[in-house]
Structure 1
Amino acid sequence: MSNKMPNTPSVDTGSVPLIELWRGDILESLHRGHAVVMRDTGEVVEAWGRADAVIYPRSSCKMVQALPLLETGAGRDLTPEHLALACASHQGAAIHVTRVANWLHDLGLSESDLRCGCQAAEDLAERDRLIKAGETACQLHNNCSGKHAGFLTLNRHLRGDAEYTLPDHPVQTEIRSAFEEVTGLPSPGFGIDGCSAPNFATQLSGLAFAMAQFAAATEGGDTRARAMVALRDAMILHPDLVAGETRACTDLMRAMEGRAAVKTGAEAVFVAILPQQRLGIALKIVDGGVRAAEAAITALLIRHRALEAAHPVVQRYLGPLLSRRGLHAGHVCTAPGFA
C-alpha cells in the first residue's frame, strides 16, 4: 500500500476566514479554514473555502475506522461502551483506562499487545494518582487505546499477525476499503498518525459525506447502516467515554442531549453527525488551532439547530473571553460570512 500522494494544492489554498479573536478593539487572531455541510445524497448544503481541500481526518474519522469491527461480525458481542471507546480520543481517565484494560483481558490480551505507544494521562486525577503511586503512564493512557482495542478485536477475527498498524496489514486494508467507500473517493495516500496507525487522506467533502451517511443510517438498513447506527448511538449515549471532562466533544454532546454526535481530530479537524437533519459536517482550520475548530463547530451546530444558542456550553467555545480574575478581555466570534 503506497503512501505517495499526487501533487495537491496547499491546505491554505482557497481557505477563508472562519473564526476571529478580538481583544479590546483589536483583531488579535484570525483563523482561516474550510467547512462543508452535506446530505447523504451527496448534495452540498453549504460550504466555505474549498470543499475539495485534501486533508488528513486524523481522529475525527474513528467511527469510520470502527466500521469493519462491526461489519465483519468481529464485534458482535461488544457493548455501546466498547463502541464509544473505539471511537474515542479519551484523556486517559480511570473510566477509560479501566475499561480498555478489561476489554483486552476479555480478549486474552494485555497492554503489551497494543501498538499505539505510551502517552501521559491528560486527566488530572489519573495523572496525580500515577505520581502518588510512583507509576508511569502506559499505552492504556494513550487517547487512542480504545480504537486500538477495536483493531485487536478485528485482528483476532481476521487472524492477522501482531503488527496490526502496518499499512498492508489485513486490519488496515479493511479500514481503507471502508473509508474509501463511505467517503465516496479513493484516498490519495496516507500519513502515520500519532498512534502509529495509517490515517487516510481525503477531500473535506468526502469526510462530510461519510458523516452524512452516519446521520441518515437507520436500524432497518443494511449491515453498514446498522453498524453506523450502533457507533453513532454509542457516542451519543456515552459522551464521557468519547473524550472526557472539560473536553469539547463531551461538553457539546451532553449539551445537545442526543441530537448529534461530534468528534474532533488533531490539527483542528472537527466533524458532526446530525441524525434529525440527516446532515454531516466537516471542517478544518488550516493553522491547526484547536480553539478555532471548537468555535467553528459550535457555530455550525447552532446554525443547523442541533445546539441551542442560549445553552451555557456555547460560552466556553464561542463568546466572551475573561481574564483569570473574571474581567472581560475580549471575545471569540465567527468571521463575517461564516455561519
Structure 2
Amino acid sequence: MIEVWRGGLLESYHAGHAVICDDKGEVIEAWGDPGAVVYPRSSAKMLQALPLIETGAADAFGLKEAQLAFACASHIGQGFHVKMAEAWVKGLGLSEADLRCGAHEPSDKIERDRLIAAGERPCQFHNNCSGKHSGFLTVTKHLGAGPEYVEIDHPLQKAIVQAMAEVTGEEAAGWGVDGCSAPNFALTVAGMARAMGRFAGASGEGDARDRAMFRLASAMRAFPEMVSGDTGADTELMRAMDGRVALKGGAEAYHIAIIPELKRGIALKIVDGGARASDAVMVALLVRLGVLDANHPAAKKRLNAVQKNWRGIETGVLKLAEGFL
C-alpha cells in the first residue's frame, strides 16, 4: 500500500488490508484480505462506549458531549485531558485509584515538562485511555457492579461483547489484554468496517442503538481535540475536514473512519504495525472519497510527504505504492 523511496530506490514498504462499507454493512471496496482477523485496539473505542449510553449511565450522570468524545479518545495527555479525567472520576465520587488503566508519561511535551519541573510523577489520569476508563467507571457505578471492570466476566465487558457482535455482525474470534488492561476483541477488518458504516448511517432518530451511535460519532466530530490532542493525527485530520468525519487510530497501525455524509465506514490495518503507513492510507482513502483536500497541510504531512534529515536536506518520499488505488 505504501512505499518509502530514498535516492531513487525503494527502501521500505508497508502491506495491509482496507475495507469500505455502506450503512447497510455491505462491502463497497476492499484491498488485501477483508477477512483478516486482527485486534482493532483503540479503533474500537466507540464500540466499547456503546454501553455508556445504552445503559442510561451517560444521562444519569449528566455527561456532556465533550465527555462522550473523551470516552472514545486515545489522548496525548495535554493538561485539559488530565483535568477532564480527574474531574469526571471525582464527579462519580471515586478517585484515581479506582481506575484500572495504569500510569504512564504523557506524550504531550508541555505536560511532561511540567511534571518534571514540579517533581511530580504521572498518574492514571495521564494514561491515553483515561477517557475510556472514566466511561467504564461510569457504567460500573450506574450498574452497581464490582470494581474490577476490566475482567472479562464483568457485566460491563459482557455488555461490550454483545454490542460489538451486534454492530459488527460477527462474534469475536478471541480476545487479548490491551495496553490499558481492558480486553480487546479480535474481529475481521470487514466486520469493523461494517460497524463503522452503521455508525455513519445513524440518524439519531431511530432505536436506542441508532441514537447511541449517532451521539458518539457526533461528539467525536464536534470535539476532535478530545479524541487525540492538538498534535494528534486524528485531531489534525478531523479539523482539516471541518468535523465532517470521525477518525480513530489504534495501536499497531489500525485506523477507522466514520463518514456520515456519504454513509460510509472505513477500517484498515497495516500488517507490520507502522502507524506512518496507516495514516497515509487513511488520507488516501479520504481523498479518494472526496471528503479531504489532498493539498491540505494535514494531508500533505502524511501522504506524498517529503522526508528530510536533521539538516533539512530532502532524502526521500513516502507515497502510495504503484497500483494501489
Query: If the TM-score is normalised by the length of the shorter chain, which range does it land in?
Result: over 0.9
Equivalent in the alignment of 1:207: 192
Deviation (angstroms), 1:315: 1.5
Equivalent in the alignment of 2:209: 224
> Does 2:312 match 1:326?
yes
Partner of 1:30, secondary structure, is strand
Gap regions ≥5 residues in structure 2: none
Does structure 1 retain, via aligned residues, the 8 Å contact 2:25–2:195?
no
Gap regions ≥5 residues in structure 1: 1-17
CA RMSD of aligned residues (A): 0.9
CA distance in 1, matches of 2:279, 2:231: 12
Does structure 1 retain, via aligned residues, the 8 Å contact 2:173–2:187?
yes
Bigger Cα displacement from structure 2, 113-122 vs 40-49: 40-49
Equivalent in the alignment of 2:249: 264
Bigger Cα displacement from structure 2, 217-226 vs 268-277: 217-226
The share of aligned pairs that are identical, in percent, is 55
Equivalent in the alignment of 2:16: 33
Aligned residues: 322
Spell out the pairing of 1:186-197 with structure 2 (5 A cutoff): 186-197=171-182
Deviation (angstroms), 1:42: 2.1
Normalising by structure 1, report the TM-score.
0.94
2:300 to 288, 293, 315: 315
Deviation (angstroms), 1:325: 2.9
Equivalent in the alignment of 1:245: 230
Deviation (angstroms), 1:337: 2.4
Partner of 1:185, secondary structure, is coil
CA distance in 2, matches of 1:336, 1:285: 17
1:301 to 266, 286, 293: 286
Deviation string 1:286-336 (CA, Å, 9 cap, x unpaired) is 100011111111111111111011111111101222233333221111112
Does structure 1 retain, via aligned residues, the 8 Å contact 2:294–2:300?
no
Q: One-letter code of the match for 1:212?
A: G
CA distance in 2, matches of 1:182, 1:53: 18
Deviation string 1:2-30 (CA, Å, 9 cap, x unpaired) is xxxxxxxxxxxxxxxx1111112011110
2:148 to 154, 158, 163: 163
Q: One-letter code of the match for 2:188?
A: Q
Bigger Cα displacement from structure 2, 328-337 vs 318-327: 318-327
Deviation string 1:191-238 (CA, Å, 9 cap, x unpaired) is 000000000111100000000011000021111111111111111111
Does structure 1 retain, via aligned residues, the 8 Å contact 2:85–2:125?
yes
Equivalent in the alignment of 1:153: 138
CA distance in 2, matches of 1:24, 1:235: 41
CA distance in 2, matches of 1:188, 1:216: 26
Q: One-letter code of the match for 2:50?
A: L
Normalising by structure 2, report the TM-score.
0.97
Q: One-letter code of the match for 2:80?
A: I
Q: One-letter code of the match for 2:292?
A: L
Q: One-letter code of the match for 1:235?
A: M
Does structure 1 retain, via aligned residues, the 8 Å contact 2:137–2:149?
yes
CA distance in 1, matches of 2:33, 2:163: 24
Does structure 1 retain, via aligned residues, the 8 Å contact 2:50–2:212?
yes
CA distance in 2, matches of 1:338, 1:297: 13
Partner of 1:165, secondary structure, is coil
Partner of 2:58, secondary structure, is coil
Deviation (angstroms), 1:110: 1.0
Bigger Cα displacement from structure 2, 81-90 vs 323-332: 323-332
CA distance in 1, matches of 2:78, 2:48: 23
CA distance in 2, matches of 1:147, 1:337: 39
